[in-house]
Amino acid sequence: MDKVFPFSHPRPDRPTRREQEILNYIWAGLTSQEIAARLQIAQKTVESHRANLLRKFRAVNAAQLLRLALLEGLLTVPSADGAPEAKVTQSPKAARRLTSIK
């Protein structure tokens, strides 16, 4: 059985370099099949990376995964006026408290 971590504790694992790459493609709106074609890997491999990301972020879907990654500063939101990208800044602890809201 998997170990259960309360939301008040930080995530146990950081995404690997490849998982971060997959996360960026998910953020760009690509499907697993499109990501696999770009990286020249099997679609099943991409799905495994997605599953690992969901587990590491304790997310249940891609929307929640992206939200948590934004709150933790792993993704950036491009500015509409062409200015440098704006980072969402919030402590991971505060982000985890928001996760429990249903």
pLDDT tens for each residue of 42-83: 999 999 999 999 999 999 999 999 999 999 989 988 777 655
Architecture of the CATH domain 17-99: Orthogonal Bundle (1.10)
Tokens 């939301």 sit at which residue?
A: 7
Indicate whether 100 pLDDT > 50: no
What residue spans define the domains of the chain? 17-99
pTM above threshold 0.85: no
Number of other CB atoms surrounding residue 32 within 10 Å: 19
